[in-house]
Amino acid sequence: MQLFRPMQFVKDLLVGPTQVEMEGQDIIILVIGPSGAGKSRFIEAAAGKPAGKVSHSLELSTKDVQFVSCPHPEGGKQVFFVDTPGLHEEGNTWMNVGKQIQKWIKTRVPAEQKITGVLYLHNITGNRMTEFPFTNEAMFEQYCGKNLGRRICVTTTHWDQVNKEVATRRESEIREKYCVTGTTMARFLCTRESAWEVVEKLLQASRPDA
């Protein structure tokens, strides 16, 4: 049986060929992370509509991969936020979630289109990060290629539920222990402005000339 490898999975998403009516200039952002990290809340703040109610799903279940599209605030491009099932929810692992995302991409995203980037959301109230797929920089580069870390933004959430000094210390620990070369970090503060600041940080880092 072939093993599911998170690093290879991310590489395939970011650099491999990826059939929703999307155009070449559209921005596609995967929003992944454990249950309770705030993925749907982030998407609702950015897009102005609930991910679980207005988005499109492969199945009728709300636990499937879903997406919400909205125009970029500065105009021109359409942004697709892809809401994914929460890790650790009802036994969800990288293998299970990864298969659902891959199915969504094959079904929904044009073959010539690429995933723009990945937002990995983490609840800052937690003492540690679990099943983070980018812990080994050498492995990450081996599977994804150099500078590919720029397409990943680790986004911490729930800052309103924890002491800021404690949260800042945890944020530093995440940056030192888990972030690979080029990976950016951002804070989501539950507002539309904050959500788009996170998106812009990811977009700027992922540009070829960055």
Domain boundaries, the chain: 25-206
DSSP code per residue over 97-148: HHHHHHHHHHHHS-TT----EEEEEEETTSSS--S-TT--HHHHHHHH-TTG
DSSP 8-state secondary structure symbol assigned to residue 73: T
Cα–Cα dist 48/22, whole Å: 20
CA distances from 40 to 1, 73, 142 (A): 33, 19, 31
Cα–Cα dist 191/157, whole Å: 11
Do residues 31 and 121 make contact, with C-beta atoms less than 8 angstroms apart? yes
Structure tokens at 102: 């891959």
pLDDT digits (tens, 9 = 90+) for 157-168: 999 999 999 999
Q: What is the mean pLDDT of the chain?
A: 76
Q: What number is the average pLDDT over the span 178-182?
A: 72
CA distances from 103 to 58, 72, 107 (A): 9, 26, 6
pLDDT digits (tens, 9 = 90+) for 39-86: 989 999 999 876 654 444 433 334 778 889 999 998 878 999 999 888
CATH 3.40.50.740 fits 25-206, yes or no: no
